[in-house]
Amino acid sequence: MQFSTKTIFAVALLATEAFAMPAHGHRVRRHAKGRFVKCTRPTPTPEPAVAPVPTPSPPPPPPPPTSVVEAVVVTPTPTPTPTPTPTPEPPVEVKVFTVQQEPAPAPVPTPAVQILQQHTPAPKPQPQPQPQPQPQQQQQQADYSGSSGLSPDFQAGLTAHNTARAALGLPPLKYNQALATEAAGYAQQLVGIGSLVHAQNRNGHGENLYWQSNSVTPCTNGANAWANEKDLYGGQPVGQGDFSAYGHYTQMIWKTTTEVGFGTANDNNGGVYVVARYNPAGNMVGQTPTSA
């Protein structure tokens, strides 16, 4: 590598001047080629202060990339339990029996009117002493008979009696108020008793009893129910056969009976007791209604 002579000289000169520079503000004389040259170093002008430029902080390093971890859960598939093959059971022999049932008898229709008590046959008549004459006033009360002034219900009951008697050619019954008074008194006693029970002392009179609920014509219904027993009576003497099934009817048509009286009483529960008293009494044991 070659360097120019001029270049080396210039560098040397600059270096010499650098070491020969006077201090700031001093004047020196230089000798140039045998002469001194007065030199004055100029006062340097101060440079304006320059505000330091802040060095920007380096940006923070980016966060490391988040790694995504995928978890794979492996669920083992259960091994199915083998279903045991059922052992076939031996066949069961089934026998079917057909039973031939006999037809049930047709039900007997229940009558709309309930009859709870039947008449009991009267004992055979015994010889009675001749009655003594009674005062005239008392005799008139006992002999009072007739149908005037009766309620429609009592009048219909009397008509039912006489219709049944007329079918056999028997004379009609007369309505007796004294018998009606006895009947009404005993009907009230039945309310206290609460059931149909024949009176122990009937003064030698015959008696039919009846009870029905929710009726405004209990006497009429009772007389019609007694008359309907005709279909159950075969003409046999009283005491034979089922007397409880026909005894009311035979008292109604008893040939020697001439009078009847009715009495009723409410039991305060919707029911009505009906009592019929007959004079003279019928249903003599061993006799028939028309042979008395």
- At 19, the pLDDT band (50, 70, 90 cuts) reads very low
**Each residue's pLDDT tens digit, 195-219:** 999 999 999 999 999 999 989 999 9
Lowest mean pLDDT among 52-56, 110-114, 205-209, 241-245: 110-114
- Using CA atoms of 191, 196, 200, 202 in order, give the dihedral in degrees to the nearest 10: 80
> Is the backbone of residue 166 left (phi > 0), alpha (psi -120 to 50) or beta?
alpha
Least confident interval from 125-129, 145-149, 212-216? 125-129
Which DSSP helix (H) or strand (E) runs through 233?
none
What pLDDT score was predicted for residue 46?
56
Least confident range from 108-117, 155-164, 260-269: namely 108-117
Q: Are 219 and 156 in contact (CB under 8 A)?
A: yes
Dump pLDDT digits (tens) for 229-257: 999 999 999 999 999 999 999 999 999 99
- What is the structure's pLDDT at 291? 87
Cα–Cα dist 249/119, whole Å: 10
What structural domains does the chain harbor?
145-279 (3.40.33.10)
> What confidence tens digit (pLDDT) does each residue in 59-92 have?
666 665 554 444 444 455 556 666 666 665 544 3
Distance in angstroms between the alpha carbons of the first and the last residue of the chain: 191
Please report, for residues 70, 76, the alpha-carbon distance to residue 73 in angstroms, rounded to integers and kept in the order given: 10, 9
Number of other CB atoms surrounding residue 202 within 10 Å:
16
E strand or H helix at 222, and its extent?
A: helix 218-227
pTM beyond cutoff 0.85: no
Within 86-151, where are the H helices? 136-143
